[in-house]
Structure 1
Amino acid sequence: MARFECSFFSSTLGLHTAMNVILPDGPPKTRFPTLYLLHGLSDDHTNWLRRTSVERYAEAHGLAVVIPNVHRSFYTDMKHGLPYWTFISEEVPSLARSWFPLSEDRERNYAAGLSMGGYGAFKLALRCPDRFAAGVSLSGALDAAHLREDGPVLTPAEFERIFGSDEALRNSQDNLFHAAETLAAGSAPAPKLFQCCGTEDFLYGANLRFRDHARKLGFDLYYEEGPGSHEWGYWDAGIQRALDWLPIPGR
C-alpha cells in the first residue's frame, strides 16, 4: 500500500485542512473501490492509521481508503460554524478522485467510521444512497437528538453550535432516524448497513434504538454486539469484520 497525507485548501471551508489516502500497490485495472473512513469526536485524520492496522486490512481487499479531517463538527453544516457536511459529502470525494484513481461507481463506494464517524458514515449512506452502496458504524453516535443524555459526547454549547435547537434537529436530515424515514419513503436504492457496538459502551442504548428503527423501516442492516467498550481494541477488531462484510464487486 502507498500512503499520502494531503494538505490542501478547502474552498468549502475557506481554510487549509488535511486527509490521508491509502492506495493498493500497482496500477489499477480499473479505478479502485474506495472506503471513506471517518474519525471520532476527539480524533483527526491520523488516528485510524496510528491506532489500528487498517492499512494492512484494506490491502487484503484491494481497497483504497480516504480519511479526512473534520474536527468536532459531527459531519454537519454547522448552525454556527463551518459547512462540514458539504465538505465531506461533496468536496472530499471530488478532490480525492481528481488526485487519485478512485472509482465513481456507487457499487464501489462505501463509508465507515467510529463513534462520531459512525454517525457520519451512516449519514453519507442514508443521504447519498445514489453514491454509496454501504455504510458501516462502529459504536456510532447514531441518535443525535439524545447526545446529551447518552453520555459524555457534546456540551450544550457545542450541540447548539452544530445542530441548533432540539426541534430543528429532530425534523432535519441531520437526524439519522428522520433521514432513514425519508429514504425508506422514496424510490432511491437503499444502502446496505453494518452496525456493531459493545454492550458496555455508553452509546449501546442509542445503537439499539437505531437498529430497531432501521429494521422496522425494512433496511438491509447487519447488526452485531458483544462485550466491549468505547475503545480502539474494539474498533480495530470491528473494522476487520466490516471490511470482510463490504459488498465489493468481484471478490
Structure 2
Amino acid sequence: MAIMTCNYYSSTLKNTIALNVFIPTPEGNEQITDDEVKKQYHYKEGLPVVYLLHGAYGNYSSWLRFSNVERYAQEHCCALVMASAENSFYQNMFHGNAYAAFFTKELPEFIKSVFPISDKREDTYIAGFSMGGYGAWYLALSNPDMYCKAASMSGALDIVKLYQDSINNKINAPIMWNSLFENPDKLDGSLSDLIRLYDDCVKAGKIPELYQSCGRDDFLYEMNLSIKARLEQKNALLVYKEDVGGHTWDFWDKDIKNVLDWLFFK
C-alpha cells in the first residue's frame, strides 16, 4: 500500500495545505503477477475513491493516526483521500474558508489530475464521523451528481438541534456559529439542513444512498435516532446500524470496516 502526504497551494482556501492520500498497491501476502495486478489494481481505468472526513478538533491525519483504515481499504482496493476542514462543518463559511467548494470542486479535480482515480459517480464515495458524519451527508446531498453513497458514523446530523443545544449550554461544541452561518437562528429548512437537502434530492430524482451508525452510549445517539425516524417516514434508502460504544475511535475503527463493506457491496 502507498500512503502519500501532499502539500500544495489551494486557490480556494488561499493557503498551502496538507492532505493524505492512500493508494492500494500489491501486498506481500498476494500472488503478485502481472495478470493479478492488472485484474485487481485498475490504475488505467481509475480506482474507486472514498473521501474520508474528520470530526471536530481533527485534521487530515486523524484517520491514519487513530484507525486501521488503510488496511481495510487495501482489502477493497480503493483509494482514500483525507483533507482538513478545521471546525467548519464543511460549509462555505460566512466568515472564513469555503470548505464546501474546496471538497466538492478543487480537491477532486486535483486528486483526479495527480492520482489514478475514477471520475465516475458510481466510483465516488464519502464518509466521516461526528462533524464529518454531518459533512459526508451534507456534501453528498448538496451534490447528488457527484457521490453515489455517503456514510455517517456518530454524525452530528441535526444542525438545528446542535445549534439550539449549543447556545443553551446543553453541549460543549467548538463551533463558531456566527462565523459559519450568516443567520444561525434560521438553519431550519436552510441549505445546511440535511432533511431539506434530502427533500431537494427527491425532487431532483437523484439521491445518494445513505449509511448511518451510532453507538448506544454516544451523546449524539438520540439525535441519530431522531434523524433516522424522520428519514424512514420519507421511505429513504437508508442503512442504519447501532452497537455498543460511545463517541470514540474504538467505535469508528470498528465501524469503518462495516462502511467499506457497505460501500463496495455488489
Which of 158, 163, 172 is residue 152 of structure 1 equivalent to? Answer: 172
Partner of 1:182: helix, strand, or coil? helix
1:88 to 77, 97, 103: 103
Instruction: Report whether the alignment pairs 1:77 with 2:92.
Output: yes
In the superposition, the TM-score normalised over structure 1's length comes to 0.93
TM-score by length of 2: 0.88
Cα distance in 2 between the residues matched to 1:106 and 1:215: 25
Gaps of 5+ in 2: 27-40
8 Å contact 1:41–1:71 — kept in the other structure? yes
Which residue of structure 2 lines up, in the alignment, with residue 161 of structure 1? 179
Alpha-carbon distance between aligned partners in 1 of 2:209 and 2:177, rounded to the nearest angstrom: 29
- Please say if residues 147 and 154 of structure 1, whose CA atoms lie closer than 8 Å, have aligned partners that are also in contact: no
Matches within 5 A, 1:197-216: 197-216=214-233
- Residue 194 of structure 1 is matched in structure 2 by 211
CA deviation profile, 1:12-58 (whole Å, cap 9, x unmatched): 11111111000011662520000000001111000100100000000
Letter of the 1:220 partner, please give it: L
What is the alpha-carbon distance in structure 2 between the residues aligned to residue 59 and residue 230 of structure 1? 26
* Equivalent residue runs for 1:201-240 within 5 Å: 201-240=218-257
Distance 2:158 2:257 in 1: 24
Instruction: Note if contact 1:52-1:236 (Cα within 8 Å) is conserved in structure 2.
Output: yes
Partners of 1:184 and 1:112 lie apart in 2 by 21
- Return the letter of the residue paired with 2:64: L
1:132 is matched with: 147
Quote the residue 2:17 is aligned against.
17
- 1:143 maps onto 2:158 in alignment: yes
Report if aligned partners of 2:21, 2:82 keep a CA contact under 8 Å in 1: yes
Instruction: List runs of 5+ in structure 1 lacking aligned partners.
Output: none
Give the partner amino acid of 1:181: D
Q: Percent identity?
A: 39
- Is the counterpart of residue 111 in structure 1 residue 114 in structure 2? no
* Helix, strand or coil at the partner of 1:80: coil
Runs of 4+ displaced beyond 4 Å = none
Aligned to 2:33: none
* Count of residue pairs the alignment pairs up: 246
Could you tell me how far 1:221 is from its partner in structure 2? Answer: 0.3
Shift of 1:207: 0.9
